[in-house]
Amino acid sequence: MLKIGSHVSCSPKGLLCAAEEAVSYGSSSFMIYTGAPQNTRRKPIEEMYVSEGLEVMKQHGIPEIVVHAPYIINLGSYKESTYELAVRFLQEEIKRTHYLGVRNIVLHPGAYTDKDAEYGIARIAEGLNEVLKGVKDTKVKIALETMAGKGTEVGRSFEELAAIIDKVEDNDQLTICLDTCHIHDAGYDIVNDLDGVLKEFDRVIGLDRLAVVHLNDSKNPRGAGKDRHAPVGSGYLGFETISSVVNHEKLKHLPMILETPWIGGKTDQGERPMYEAEIAILRGNAEERLGSEYLEDVDRLNHFFTKQDLDSRKYVLGVWDLLKNDAKAKKEDKREPMERLYDMVVAENLFPELNEEQINHRLTGWFAAKSVLQLA
């Protein structure tokens, strides 16, 4: 069974709330932070309803989850106070991860800020050596995440990650988290040559180190170095590419985590995730999970957009290219592909009985219509 899920919150009842939220999306894996990702405030791990959360996971067949280290950790910093905080705090996060019984903690390697990439690689490796010396009694592995190339972040290429690994003494404790949006934005062509990218990864790092996959579409063309996630099917990668990642023989055994953005306007529900629809469609059990009426609605959408002479991929890419090339567009003209499609559906009064979240779930299905409706 595919281990596919999403990032979920971990409060107020810690792992219990996280597991229940994940179950509500139909997840068979999920990822948490053990506290707020932007600060160091943490509840004692013993107060995070761990046994209750583990029981929910057991009941619903969730065998493996992932922890993500907080964003404030920067092992690449030349500032001693920032570096020392990163080392100490990462050690504490690893101990908390160990308490949860989780095998991998995902880490953004770090940024070199006012220095250079060579300095950043050496500094991060130095930090990892120090971190690992203080957590020898844990079985947790640090999954270095592939990065998009934004700013001065390190890890924008397989070679940079390999260079870090080579400088770490106990590097058996290092694994990799492959982010689909990030490697696309960094310039790797997983749309047209996924096999070639994985072959390159294996040559430079080794597929045996790959432990986690982040599933995200991208709002930017390949090589943009921007790191802007999009819902599955609504970006430059598209549903077929992400589905190929999910079902690839060399990847499908790994926990796969959606970090796609929440979308929607200021309604009663506010912004909502597309996780439930994305998971069901990628797993191939949309009818079982979402019902036959969902498929009927996706079919109705497909007929509607066909009459408008709209092809989902051409439309999505066309809108992103338009937005990229028109930086001075008015606010109302900056609406993204999924938002514009939603506007068309509402204007046509196609689903008067559905709320915004439900319509967006069906748009998610339309991006994958060939698979969902089993079209030729």
Binding site, annotated residues: 68, 108, 145, 179, 182, 214, 227, 229, 259
Q: Do residues 182 and 173 make contact, with C-beta atoms less than 8 angstroms apart? A: no
Q: Helices (H) and strands (E) in the chain — how many of each?
A: 15, 10
Q: What Rg, from alpha-carbon coordinates, does the chain have?
A: 21
| Strand 217-218, strand 229-230: pairing | antiparallel
Any residues with CB less than 8 A from the CB of 367 and at least 6 apart, and which? 232, 233, 234, 238, 239, 312, 316
Query: Rounded distance, CA 186 to CA 183, Å?
Result: 5
* Cα distances (Å, whole numbers) of residue 358 to 159, 161, 365: 43, 40, 11
Residues annotated in a binding site for Zn(2+): 68, 108, 145, 179, 182, 214, 227, 229, 259
Any residues with CB less than 8 A from the CB of 324 and at least 6 apart, and which? 220, 221
Which amino acid is present at 51? S
Concatenated DSSP letters of 325-356: H-TT--GGGG--HHHHHHHHHHHHTS-TT--H
- Say what angle helices 337-348 and 292-307 make with each other, to 10 degrees: 90
Query: Rounded distance, CA 246 to CA 86, Å?
Result: 33
Q: Do residues 233 and 367 make contact, with C-beta atoms less than 8 angstroms apart? A: yes
Query: Rounded distance, CA 269 to CA 265, Å?
Result: 9
**3-state SS, residue 80:** helix
